[in-house]
């Protein structure tokens, strides 16, 4: 029998909130996290809207952890937060918050059996963009640590330094499926490599203006209709959707082996049953019904469950004309008639697309909903696309007892990764 793997700790930071309760309340209120970009000038960028965290009060968050973290941990965290780039600051704060939520400070675990997996790539994009601009102006004035801080692995190193984990640390890049691919690796660390804990950190992607403009030119993101109405820009399943809305956002999931977590009396949020991946054989951002259906079918088979066992699908649902419908077609193919009894909602309708960390952020959202038995609305569906005939939680929060949740994630490069979760309390 494979080891059972459970989530014992979580943390989150989005424009809807940086605490689990605040985040959940924002989702249930149907509040949009989308505003105008402040992180960079948008005068030369077509799309002006996004989920912007650039003015996030890092010092206030750090202060909120003082006295709650062991003194030596807080000292290491404070020293790092002073030095590292913006998105790495958020990574270290998320990691400390998630470890605290799991109750792992002082736990009798071997630090050499604690793994850290960071999801994403090109994380410090704006830091690198600004460094290149400074280099063009005066090379000697660039940050002397640029060669280190530009590396995604520095996120993993900083988390390891704060928490003093000594097991494997690495990053997993799979575009917008990164969070689930990182989860898949973290599960393997516990099941096959004797890790006692494995933390997945969905790091905040720090967009540079060139990234946002390029996505607009590609036709992937919204820019034609909602630059003056940011809160209406992300609208999965609506007839006027025109592309996803890039967003800052990060989260952590702390995984443990079930028996060990039970022995130490840990709170268990949920059990992860399986995580399956597939690819489309096509590097272009053209969602594939075949690839998505393969991943969903595989995750059910790996978990030994039937489609009828799934109560709730936390959808990828990016607000693109093709992507939203392709995902629903894939669901119909895999779930058959049961697709019409499953509840589906779209976290990105409020959060925007957190890109590499989206699967992790949205899994936290899903697990919080699963525990409370109440699903959030998919907002901004003013006129439902006639091709949408499944229950996408259009009309408001829904009371639903969820035993099993499926979480979809699909990324550029033809990457599909799907996770399956069981409610520990159901």
| C-beta separation of 77 from 65 below 8 A | yes
- In whole angstroms, give the CA distance from residue 25 to residue 353: 19
Residues 241 and 324 sit within 8 Å (Cβ to Cβ): yes
Contact 32, 230 (CB under 8 A): yes
Place of tokens 């399986």: 274
Q: Which CATH topology does 5-270 take?
A: Peroxisomal Thiolase; Chain A, domain 1 (3.40.47)
316 among known catalytic residues = yes
- Strand-pairing partners, residue 171, are 118
**Average pLDDT, 10 consecutive residues per value, the chain (426 residues):** 91 98 98 98 97 98 98 98 97 98 96 98 94 94 92 97 98 98 98 97 98 96 97 98 98 97 97 98 94 98 98 98 98 98 98 98 98 97 98 96 98 97 87
pTM score of the predicted model: 0.97
Nearest to 97 by CA among 181, 10, 164: 10
Cβ-count burial 236-273 (b if 16+ within 10 Å, e if not) = bbbebbbbbbbbbbbbbbbbbbbebbeeeebeebbbbb
Per-residue pLDDT at 426 = 61
Architecture of domain 274-423: 3-Layer(aba) Sandwich (3.40)
Rounded-to-10 torsion of CA 322, 222, 377, 274? 60
Instruction: Please compute Rg for the chain using Cα positions.
Output: 20
| pLDDT at residue number 1 | 53
Active site annotation includes 121: no
> What is the rounded CA–CA span in Å between residue 293 and residue 332?
9
Catalytic residue at 176?
yes
Over the range 353-383, which residues count as b (16 or more CB within 10 Å of their CB) and which as e? bbbbbbbbbbbbbbbbbbbeebbbbbbbbee
- Pick the closest to residue 39 from 248, 231, 192 (CA basis): 248
For the chain, give every residue range classified as CATH 3.40.47.10.
5-270, 274-423
Cα–Cα distance list, 286 to 219, 325, 359, 410 (Å): 12, 12, 19, 10
Which pLDDT score, from 0 to 100, does residue 56 have?
A: 98
Left, alpha or beta for 89 (phi > 0: left; psi -120 to 50: alpha)? alpha
Find the distance separating the first CA and the last CA of the chain, reported in whole Å.
22
Q: Which residue among 155, 248, 353, 376 is the active-site one?
A: 353
Given 158, 176, 275, 355, the catalytic residue:
176
Give the side-chain half-sphere CA count within 13 A for 181.
23
Residue of 155, 248, 316, 376 marked catalytic? 316
């Amino acid at each position: 029998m494979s080891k059972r793997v459970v989530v014992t700790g979580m943390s989150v930071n989005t424009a809807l909130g940086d605490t689990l309760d605040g985040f959940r309340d924002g989702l249930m209120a149907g509040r949009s996290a989308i505003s105008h970009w402040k992180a960079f000038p948008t005068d030369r960028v077509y799309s002006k809207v996004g989920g912007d965290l650039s003015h996030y009060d890092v010092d206030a968050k750090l202060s909120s952890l003082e006295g709650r973290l062991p003194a030596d941990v807080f000292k290491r965290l404070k020293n790092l937060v002073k030095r590292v780039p913006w998105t790495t600051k958020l990574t270290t704060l998320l990691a400390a918050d998630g470890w605290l939520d799991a109750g792992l400070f002082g736990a009798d675990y071997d630090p050499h059996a604690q793994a850290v997996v960071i999801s994403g790539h090109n994380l410090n994009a704006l830091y690198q963009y600004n460094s290149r601009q400074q280099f063009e102006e005066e090379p000697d004035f660039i940050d002397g640590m640029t060669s280190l801080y530009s590396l995604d692995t520095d996120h993993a190193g900083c988390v390891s330094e704060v928490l003093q984990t000594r097991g494997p640390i690495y990053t997993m890049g799979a575009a917008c499926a990164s969070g689930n691919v990182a989860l898949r690796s973290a599960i393997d660390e516990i099941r096959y490599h004797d890790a006692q804990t494995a933390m997945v950190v969905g790091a905040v992607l720090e967009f540079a203006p060139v990234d946002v403009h390029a996505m607009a030119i590609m036709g992937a993101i919204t820019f034609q209709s909602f630059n003056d109405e940011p809160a209406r820009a992300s609208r999965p399943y609506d007839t006027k959707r025109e592309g996803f809305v890039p967003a800052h956002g990060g989260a952590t999931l702390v995984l443990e082996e079930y028996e060990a977590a039970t022995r130490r009396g840990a709170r268990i949020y949920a059990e992860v049953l399986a995580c399956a991946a597939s690819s489309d054989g096509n590097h272009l951002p053209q969602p594939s019904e075949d690839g998505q259906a393969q991943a969903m079918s595989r995750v059910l088979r790996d978990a030994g469950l039937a489609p009828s066992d799934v109560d709730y699908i936390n959808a990828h649902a990016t607000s693109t004309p093709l992507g939203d419908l392709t995902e629903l077609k894939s669901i119909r193919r895999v779930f058959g008639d049961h697709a019409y009894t499953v509840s589906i909602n779209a976290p990105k309708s409020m959060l925007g697309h957190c890109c590499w960390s989206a699967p992790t952020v949205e899994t936290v959202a899903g697990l919080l909903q699963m525990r409370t038995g109440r699903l959030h609305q998919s907002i901004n569906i003013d006129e439902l696309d006639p091709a949408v005939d499944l229950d996408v939680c259009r009309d408001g929060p829904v009371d639903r007892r969820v035993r099993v949740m499926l979480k979809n994630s699909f990324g550029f490069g033809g990457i599909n990764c799907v996770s399956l979760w069981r409610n520990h309390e159901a």
